[in-house]
């Protein structure tokens, strides 16, 4: 049995007895499985997978212990993956990520920290959620009050072609040359490529030490998408909705590259916010971009959005094909717009407090067969609500594809059934069929069996 011990170099050198107990294997802590699985994902950083079930089953003999001793704290890793070791030592960036996992699991779940111990009412729900996200980001030192807006959020899929990876890399390189920081979902594929490119751009400008590569994830997806090797700041949010809100509160402009159902979920989320009337004067720059090989993808996505949310929906985003420099220049100009707007309204540069997020996009959607069947997919509602309902539908499909609990639900009870107006169901079917045809759903299988059924 191989045992490796590591010690922190930051404020997490100390934990209370209670904090250590709830995540410790030796004391059968109530959060141990969550902590173990997130830590195992981090130890697999750089390994390409999109199946959390396979990852967890491949390392059944892995355990982790938090030990409080005279030196303050150490982590014991029992049978860690060999890929996390060099010269029989855990790679330094992986060590940093392991303590990020510990930091966020403790921050989110211990009752004395101001997050888990607040009485929530319908009246303060939205404010509470936004404050929770702020506290997590602040605790992770992701918020830098003295910095001008400079973070480009990059969304896109893990199952992409080499040419699409290269294009996202080129965009990241152009952003890096302009000193712009990157924030992604921290997994493989598109989530890695712009980070990879930005590192080179920052190095060429001799500012590589200031290059930020922020990865935002959440417990149910991190095992399916371990952090890529480019992530320098790892942050684990409590659930998918808080992860999405963290992107738009922390970031200053959003770039959407080609992807599958998860990318559709993210795009519908931001469009739901942009369609919300209280945000009509809020600058939320949104760019859809890819190389020439991605034209069919963006045509299908654009047609779906116009047919469901209205023909004028394209006023809310720009599509740029095969032009990394144009994307980077567009981002740079949008950052100036965001800076001027935040200065004018006296809002924070590092956290978008003024953004209004509808409750339906904030409150966690619990994926189940019953809830998927009850989704309201019809046009007789405000466009932002339809966008929010469609977001939940794609969120369920993502869960059924890659998340351990979603995979188990589908195995036990069959595919999720999604109902709605015939026109919307037909449009969803056409879009999802295009994802399958283009190989954008899963990395881990050549023949995709849908985890959903669409019925009018």
pTM of the predicted structure, to 2 decimals? 0.93
Q: Is the pLDDT of residue 102 over 60?
A: yes
Question: Chain-centre distance of CA 109, in angstroms?
Answer: 20
Q: Is 340 in the same domain as 377?
A: no
Q: Is the pLDDT of residue 51 over 90?
A: no
| Mean pLDDT taken over the chain | 90
348 within 8 A of 145, measured Cβ to Cβ: yes
Tokens 């283009």 belong to which residue? 438
Per the model's pLDDT, the better-predicted residue between 85 and 235 turns out to be 235
Q: Is the pLDDT of residue 16 over 90?
A: no
The confidence score (pLDDT) of residue 118 equals 55
Report CA-CA distances (Å) from 355 to 217, 260, 362, 386.
Answer: 21, 27, 12, 19
CATH of the domain at 98: 3.30.1850.10
381 within 8 A of 275, measured Cβ to Cβ: no
Tokens 């009246």 belong to which residue? 123
Report CA-CA distances (Å) from 392 to 51, 241, 317, 361, 367.
Answer: 21, 10, 21, 9, 8
Q: Is 178 in the same domain as 319?
A: yes
Helix/strand/coil percent split, the chain, to 5: 50, 10, 35
Residues 31 and 382: their CA atoms lie apart, in Å, by 40
Residue 125 resides in a domain:
no
Q: Is 275 in the same domain as 318?
A: yes
Length of the chain: 456
The confidence score (pLDDT) of residue 338 equals 98
321 within 8 A of 291, measured Cβ to Cβ: yes
Residues 431 and 415: their CA atoms lie apart, in Å, by 18
313 within 8 A of 288, measured Cβ to Cβ: no
pLDDT tens, position by position, 53-94: 677 788 889 999 888 765 567 888 999 998 998 998 999 999
Q: Is the pLDDT of residue 263 over 70?
A: yes
Tell me the Ramachandran region of residue 322: left when phi exceeds 0, alpha when psi lies from -120 to 50, beta otherwise.
left
The confidence score (pLDDT) of residue 445 equals 62
Confidence tier at 10 by pLDDT (50, 70, 90): low
Confidence tier at 119 by pLDDT (50, 70, 90): low
Q: Is the pLDDT of residue 112 over 50?
A: no
> Per mean pLDDT, which range of 23-37, 146-160, 187-201 is the poorest?
23-37
Domain-ending residue, one of 345, 379, 404: 345
CA geometry: angle 133, 286, 228, nearest 5 deg: 60
Q: Compute the average pLDDT of residues 251-266.
A: 97
Q: Is 333 in the same domain as 417?
A: no
Which tokens hold the place of 321? 């094909």
Residue 130 resides in a domain:
no
Residue 300 resides in a domain:
yes
186 within 8 A of 234, measured Cβ to Cβ: yes
Q: Is the pLDDT of residue 305 over 80?
A: yes
| Domain extent for 415 | 364-455
Q: Compute the average pLDDT of residues 174-191.
A: 96
Residues 347 and 148: their CA atoms lie apart, in Å, by 12
Q: Is 194 in the same domain as 95?
A: no
Residues whose CB is less than 8 angstroms from the CB of residue 455 and which lie 6 or more positions away in sequence, other chains included: 417, 418, 419, 425
Residue 190 resides in a domain:
yes
Confidence tier at 209 by pLDDT (50, 70, 90): confident
Residues 204 and 200: their CA atoms lie apart, in Å, by 6
pLDDT tens, position by position, 311-370: 999 999 999 999 999 999 999 999 999 999 999 999 999 999 999 999 999 999 999 999
- The total number of structural domains in the chain stands at 3
Three-state DSSP class for residue 245? helix
218 within 8 A of 258, measured Cβ to Cβ: no
Confidence tier at 25 by pLDDT (50, 70, 90): confident
The confidence score (pLDDT) of residue 22 equals 78
Return the closest-CA partner of residue 257 out of 205, 314, 189. 189
């Amino acid at each position: 049995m191989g045992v490796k011990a590591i010690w922190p170099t930051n404020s997490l050198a100390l934990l209370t007895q209670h904090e250590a107990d709830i995540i410790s294997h030796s004391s059968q802590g109530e959060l141990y499985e969550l902590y173990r699985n997130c830590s195992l994902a981090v130890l697999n950083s750089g390994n390409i997978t999109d199946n959390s079930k396979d990852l967890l089953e491949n390392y059944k003999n892995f355990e982790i212990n938090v030990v409080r001793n005279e030196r303050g704290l150490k982590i014991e890793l029992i049978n860690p993956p060999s890929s996390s070791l060099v010269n029989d030592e855990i790679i330094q960036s992986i060590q940093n990520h392991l303590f990020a996992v510990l930091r966020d699991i403790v921050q989110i779940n211990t009752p004395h920290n101001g997050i888990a111990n607040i009485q929530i009412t319908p009246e303060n729900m939205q404010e509470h959620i936004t404050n929770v996200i702020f506290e997590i980001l602040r605790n992770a030192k992701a918020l830098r009050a003295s910095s001008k807006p400079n973070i480009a959020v990059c969304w896109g899929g893990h199952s992409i072609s080499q040419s699409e990876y290269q294009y996202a890399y080129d965009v990241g390189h152009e952003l890096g040359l302009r000193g712009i920081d990157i924030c992604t979902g921290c997994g493989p594929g598109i989530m890695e490529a712009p980070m990879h490119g930005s590192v080179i751009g920052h190095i060429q400008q001799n500012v590589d030490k200031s290059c930020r590569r922020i990865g935002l994830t959440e417990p149910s997806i991190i095992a399916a998408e371990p952090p890529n090797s480019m992530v320098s700041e790892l942050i684990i949010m409590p659930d998918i909705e808080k992860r999405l809100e963290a992107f738009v509160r922390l970031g200053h402009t959003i770039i959407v590259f080609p992807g599958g159902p998860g990318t559709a979920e993210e795009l519908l989320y931001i469009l739901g916010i942009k369609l919300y009337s209280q945000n009509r004067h809020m600058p939320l720059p949104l760019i859809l971009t890819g190389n020439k090989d991605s034209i069919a993808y963006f045509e299908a996505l654009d047609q779906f959005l116009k047919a469901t949310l209205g023909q004028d929906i394209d006023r809310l985003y720009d599509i740029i094909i095969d032009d990394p420099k144009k994307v980077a220049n567009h981002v740079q100009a949008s950052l100036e717009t965001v800076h001027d707007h935040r200065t004018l309204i006296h809002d924070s540069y590092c956290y978008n407090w003024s953004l209004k997020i509808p409750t339906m996009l904030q409150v966690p959607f619990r994926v189940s067969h019953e809830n998927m069947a009850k989704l309201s997919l019809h046009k007789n509602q405000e466009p932002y609500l339809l966008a929010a309902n469609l977001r939940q539908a794609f969120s369920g499909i993502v869960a059924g594809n890659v998340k351990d609990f979603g995979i188990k639900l589908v195995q036990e009870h069959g595919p999720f059934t999604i109902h709605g107006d015939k026109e919307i169901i037909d449009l969803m079917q056409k879009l999802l069929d295009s994802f399958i045809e283009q190989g954008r759903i899963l990395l881990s299988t050549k023949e995709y069996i849908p985890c959903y059924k669409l019925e009018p």
